[in-house]
């Protein structure tokens, strides 16, 4: 329903940089550093009027219930009414959501946001009849309707809808599954409550000698410490807590896998993997090609682990040594004004028309820049078809924040170009494509920084950041994808998913990925117990495909001048399947060539870092 694209908290900096920090109140933030939501609704009164109008319009759908199959004209009128209601709601939701995000302690806008949530439920209920009723129309009759000239622009829209027909059950069975959804989701809810609220990791001694309660946030900080005993302490303390509950976590994960397999079988899919990827119009070949090509390129990851061992001067490399930086942090303060200039230079290879949208974002206040009391943390790009594509930041004067800016700008320009080149019903894009646009911008920024800064320390820092990002997004997420496929296959074959069975497979898999220089810590075999993505149903592979595609596209833009092809993808929205859309940019994601090209970039930058650190082979 909502077309809000979001990327929460990418590369958020811990450092404190500028004068506009969390202690200031919302009303004290300079206007030029806030987003302008008056272009959505002039004021709250206009918002309330829009809410009232939308509520009244829901009754317009009643005349089409049970009649969508009467004629092509009725089908068209029902579709246009449905789409207009959704379109109006999305504009309302953007205003409510973003006013709330400005200051989550503001009770008035908390109420406005709650009002939008209630409206979402009403809109969802009012429009729920549409898809099952269309799918109930006789195929021959519907095919004849779609020949009507007025319905031709919606052909792909209906093709996507009809692709679900073979996997849609009779209405009474659909109602039964819908009613059981809460019960079927109880295992992941139990995991979430246990993982987020009830886990007690105990205390650790930090580098400064203070005793503190270990949290997930502190764990991340300690794992990046230059002191190995500090890293080891955090690692063993955290995993001791998870291993103490290994059978509970095995039960919640096993139950979730059984749910995925049950629903896939019920809906006539060959497997849970097929059900998950095909429902997003992605063939399983994309998934399988990813895991195959990553496995073939694991020697590159083994080299990177070996480099860590040498640079950090370690006798043994452990799992807790994989996140500490190989370089010192660089003293490169970057103000927001500096960042805007850097972004325009880094993104220049995309062409002047792309930069014009970036300049509009800066000039027309699409960006809420700085932190204030109560403001939502992290960063995202959001908006709707009839609004500007806004960006929320919590700016700090660091290089990481420049990456955040260009990342979110990638989403924002993608949204802008899609909405200005597609009608509403194709004016969005799936997650599978979304992260490619944002990560391509990061790749262009990396290239710009490497070409602009001659200081070896800065170059080494940027290369290390890039390699760590690729390691975490392509290699690590594919490791997760491999494990996810295995646990579903095991359950489908009737094999019990015990804690011991999953630990045995995961431990061996981790050793295969990181290679002979990594000492096998027994704790890492239980990493599966703390990964929430395993409850998301074949989601993580998209991180890896997106990063690899972005790496390849950025190189093609820089070396082959393929910016125009790339922008054809940004403009296409949902007008074709995701693979057809990305093919416009020159990438076939069913074949391995784009992955091979991405790994070649990784290898080249690994060579550069080895040379800079004096470890060239």
CA distance 188 to 193: 9
pLDDT of residue 79: 98
pLDDT at 6 over 60: no
User: What is the number of other CB atoms lying within 10 angstroms of the CB of residue 32?
Assistant: 9
Region 14-35: mean pLDDT is: 71
Contacts of 182 (CB under 8 A, 6+ apart): none
Region 409-436: mean pLDDT is: 97
Please report where in the chains the tokens 């439920």 appear, as a residue.
Answer: 121
Region 421-428: mean pLDDT is: 98
CA distance 474 to 464: 15
Fold of 31-165: Butyryl-CoA Dehydrogenase, subunit A; domain 3 (1.20.140)
pLDDT at 283 over 90: yes
Structure tokens that stand for 453 in this block:
């800064």
Poorest-pLDDT segment among 173-177, 299-303, 514-518, 578-582: 173-177
pLDDT at 2 over 60: no
Q: What residue spans in the chain does CATH classification 1.20.140.70 cover? A: 31-165
pLDDT of residue 331: 77
Q: pLDDT by residue (tens digit) across 31-73?
A: 999 999 999 999 999 999 999 999 999 999 999 999 999 999 9
Average pLDDT, the chain: 93
pLDDT grade, residue 17 (50/70/90)?
A: very low
Determine whether 133 is an active site residue.
Answer: no
What three-state secondary structure class fits 70?
Answer: coil
Most confident of 15-24, 370-379, 597-606: 597-606
Provide the residue count of the chain. Answer: 617
CA distance 551 to 469: 12
pLDDT of residue 584: 97
Q: Which of 86, 102, 371, 408 is catalytic?
A: 408
Q: What residue spans in the chain does CATH classification 1.10.1370.20 cover? A: 183-329+456-613
Structure tokens that stand for 36 in this block:
């302008």
pLDDT at 178 over 90: no
Poorest-pLDDT segment among 20-24, 275-279, 574-578: 20-24
pLDDT of residue 12: 27
pLDDT of residue 332: 81
Q: E strand or H helix at 390, and its extent?
A: strand 390-392
pLDDT at 15 over 90: no
Contacts of 27 (CB under 8 A, 6+ apart): none
| Reported CATH class of domain 183-329+456-613 | mainly alpha
Sheet harboring 390-392: ordered strands across?
367-368, 390-392, 380-382
pLDDT at 16 over 50: no
Region 120-144: mean pLDDT is: 94
pLDDT of residue 196: 87
Q: Are 478 and 294 in contact (CB under 8 A)?
A: yes
* pLDDT top residue among 240 and 377: 240
CA distance 308 to 229: 16
CA distance 312 to 374: 40
pLDDT of residue 616: 52
CA distances from 237 to 197, 369, 410, 525, 526 (A): 17, 37, 39, 15, 13
CA distance 420 to 441: 20
* pLDDT top residue among 51 and 18: 51
Q: What is the DSSP string of 128-181?
A: TTHHHHHHHS-HHHHHHHTTSTTTGGGHHHHHHHHTTGGG---HHHHHHHHHTH
């Amino acid at each position: 329903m909502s077309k809000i694209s979001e990327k929460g908290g990418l590369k958020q900096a811990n450092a404190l940089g500028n004068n506009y920090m969390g202690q200031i109140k919302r009303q004290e933030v300079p206007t030029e550093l806030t987003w302008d939501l008056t272009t959505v609704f002039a004021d709250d009164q206009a918002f309330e009027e829009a809410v009232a109008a939308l509520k009244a319009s829901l009754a317009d759908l009643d005349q089409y219930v049970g009649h969508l199959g009467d004629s092509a004209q009725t089908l068209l009128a029902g579709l246009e009414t449905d789409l207009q209601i959704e379109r109006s709601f999305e504009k309302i939701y953007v205003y409510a959501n973003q006013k709330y995000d400005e200051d989550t302690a503001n009770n008035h806008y908390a109420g406005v946001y709650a009002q939008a949530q209630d409206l979402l439920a009403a809109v969802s209920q009012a429009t729920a009849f549409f898809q099952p009723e269309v799918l109930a129309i006789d195929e021959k009759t519907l095919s004849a309707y779609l020949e009507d000239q007025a319905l031709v622009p919606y052909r792909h829209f209906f093709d996507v809808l009809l692709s679900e027909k073979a996997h849609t059950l009779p209405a009474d069975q659909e109602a039964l599954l819908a009613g059981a959804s809460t019960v079927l989701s109880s295992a992941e809810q139990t995991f979430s409550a246990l993982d987020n609220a009830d886990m007690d990791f105990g205390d650790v001694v930090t580098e400064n000698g203070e005793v503190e309660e270990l949290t997930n946030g502190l764990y991340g900080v300690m794992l990046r410490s230059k002191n190995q005993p500090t890293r080891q302490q955090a690692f063993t303390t955290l995993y001791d807590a998870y291993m103490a509950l290994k059978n509970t976590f095995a039960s919640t994960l096993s139950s979730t896998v059984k749910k995925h397999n049950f629903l896939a079988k019920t809906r006539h899919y060959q497997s849970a993997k097929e059900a998950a990827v095909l429902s997003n119009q992605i063939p399983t070949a994309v998934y399988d090609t990813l895991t195959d090509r990553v496995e073939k390129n694991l020697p590159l990851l083994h080299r990177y682990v070996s480099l860590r061992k040498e640079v950090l001067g370690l006798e043994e490399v452990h799992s807790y040594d994989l996140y500490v930086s190989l370089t010192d942090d660089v003293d490169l303060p970057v103000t927001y004004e500096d960042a805007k200039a850097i972004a325009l230079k880094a993104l220049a290879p995309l062409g002047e028309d792309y930069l014009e949208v970036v300049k509009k974002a800066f000039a027309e206040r699409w960006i809420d820049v700085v932190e204030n009391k109560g403001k939502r943390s992290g960063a995202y790009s959001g908006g709707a078809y009839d609004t500007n594509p806004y960006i929320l930041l919590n700016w700090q004067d660091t290089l990481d924040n420049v990456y955040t800016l260009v990342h979110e700008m990638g989403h924002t320009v993608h949204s802008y170009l899609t909405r200005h080149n597609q009608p509403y019903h194709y004016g969005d894009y799936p997650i599978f494509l979304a992260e490619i646009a944002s990560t391509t911008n990061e790749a262009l920024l990396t290239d710009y920084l490497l070409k602009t800064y001659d200081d070896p320390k800065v170059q080494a820092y940027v290369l290390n950041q890039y390699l760590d990002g690729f390691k975490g997004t392509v290699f690590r997420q594919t490791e997760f994808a491999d494990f996810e496929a295995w646990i579903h296959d095991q359950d489908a074959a009737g094999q019990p998913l015990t804690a011991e069975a999953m630990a045995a497979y995961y431990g061996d898999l981790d050793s295969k990925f990181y290679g002979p220089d990594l000492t096998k810590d027994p704790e890492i075999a239980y990493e599966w117990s703390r990964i929430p993505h395993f409850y998301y149903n074949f989601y993580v592979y998209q991180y890896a495909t997106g990063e690899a595609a972005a790496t390849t596209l950025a190189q093609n833009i820089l070396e082959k001048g393929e910016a125009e092809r790339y922008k054809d993808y940004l403009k296409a929205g949902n007008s074709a399947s995701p693979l057809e859309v990305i093919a416009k940019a020159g990438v076939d994601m069913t074949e391995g060539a784009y992955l091979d090209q991405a790994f070649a970039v990784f290898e080249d930058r690994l060579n550069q870092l080895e040379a800079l650190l004096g470890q060239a082979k």
